Amino acid sequence: MENYKKIIEDIYLEVKNVDDIGKVANYIPELAFVDSNNFGINITTINNESFGIGDSETKFSIQSVTKILSLTLAYKLEGEKLWERVDVEPSGNPFNSLLQLEADLGKPRNPFINAGAIVVCDVLISHLKNPKEDFLNFCREISDNTTLNYNEKIAQSEKSSGFRNIALCNFIKSFGNIKNNVDEVLDFYFHICSLEMTCKELSQMFLYLAEDNFITKKGTKIISESQTKRINAIMLTCGFYDESGEFAFRVGLPGKSGVGGGIIAIHPDKYCISVWSPKLNKKGNSYKGMLFLEKFTTKTTSSIF
Ligand code: GLU
């Protein structure tokens, strides 16, 4: 950890002063109110040592980072049958694109684009008695943190402006790949995207993807080693929308970003690192977040390649 710490401190200062060419997401009105100067980082190693710097303990809306959690729960409940509903191929398209769905007959390319995450929400609704509550409890159990919660204001803000997601859900339903009520699926989707966490909480929570033998404090094994491998593989190939190749090229770790400006990245058997900086590049990924991680894996020579 000492080695990581010094490198993180140095890169933090360097990147903090870089001119940020990104823009805060404002298509969800509530996200535009977030202070764009926030910049936080936290690393947690598999032996549970944690180090954070900057705004690492400020909560923010994790947005699409939550799609790893919804995928994890759906995969756990549905098993391999899940892949009949959603594919595992990079889309090469923006996160909210409707384009491919027509040609692919309503089967989304992967669980991390909005279309795929909406289908995953539908799968979860079919399994869970109280989807919003049960999902939250699942997240609370993994992180051993009962304070985790949705941000109702952000969920409502997206609900009132999420026209593309509403279109996506209806479009997929027309192909028969949404089984439940469209309003219920979207309400659930908007809520899981509004989940709030700090960088510190994120890097602790996602250790289950870095550590094969991870078990919760209650003694539950979340997913099998093979499922862990597969989720990491989808993160590497599809975690950054149509910039997934670029992230793998520059950073070299499986990861996932969200339009709230958060990114988590996993080094299997070593650590989970999270970065938060709200201004996004043109592809919807945190500008400084990506820059930080590129410098971090380069200086620590700790990518998976
Ligand atoms: N709730 C956001 C949306 O559906 C998530 C997108 C993201 O973080 O990439 O537009």
Q: Is there an atom of ligand 1 within 6 Å of 194 CB?
A: no
Q: Is there an atom of ligand 1 within 6 Å of 64 CB?
A: yes
Q: What pLDDT is stored for residue 6 in this prediction?
A: 96
Mean pLDDT over each residue of the chain, to the nearest integer: 96
Taking 90 as the threshold, does the pLDDT of residue 213 lie above it? no
Cα separation, 213 vs 113, whole angstroms: 28
Model confidence at 97, in pLDDT bands (50, 70, 90)? confident
- Mean pLDDT calculated for residue range 163-167: 96
Q: Is there an atom of ligand 1 within 6 Å of 243 CB?
A: no
Taking 90 as the threshold, does the pLDDT of residue 106 lie above it? yes
pLDDT digits 0-9 by tens, 55-94: 999 999 999 999 999 999 999 999 999 999 999 999 988 8
Q: What pLDDT is stored for residue 1 in this prediction?
A: 78
Closest ligand 1 atom to residue 95 Cα is 9
Concatenated DSSP letters for the chain? -HHHHHHHHHHHHHHHTS----EE--SSGGGGGS-TT--EEEEEETT--EEEEESTTS-EE-GGGHHHHHHHHHHHHHGGGGGGTS--S---S-TT--HHHHHTTT--S-TTSHHHHHHHHHHHHHH-SSHHHHHHHHHHHHHT-TT-B--HHHHHHHHHH-HHHHHHHHHHHHTT---S-HHHHHHHHHHHHT-EE-HHHHHHHGGGGT-TT-B-TTS-B-S-HHHHHHHHHHHHHHTTGGGHHHHHHHT-S-EEE-TTSEEEEEETTTEEEEEE--EE-TTSSBHHHHHHHHHHHHHTT-S--
**Protein residue whose Cα sits closest to atom 4 of ligand 1:** 114
Cβ atoms of 208 and 228 closer than 8 Å:
yes
Q: What percent of the chain has pLDDT over 90?
A: 94
* Domain chopping of the chain, boundaries: 2-300
User: Is the CATH code 3.40.710.10 the one for domain 2-300?
Assistant: yes
Q: Which one-letter amino acid corresponds to residue 147?
A: T
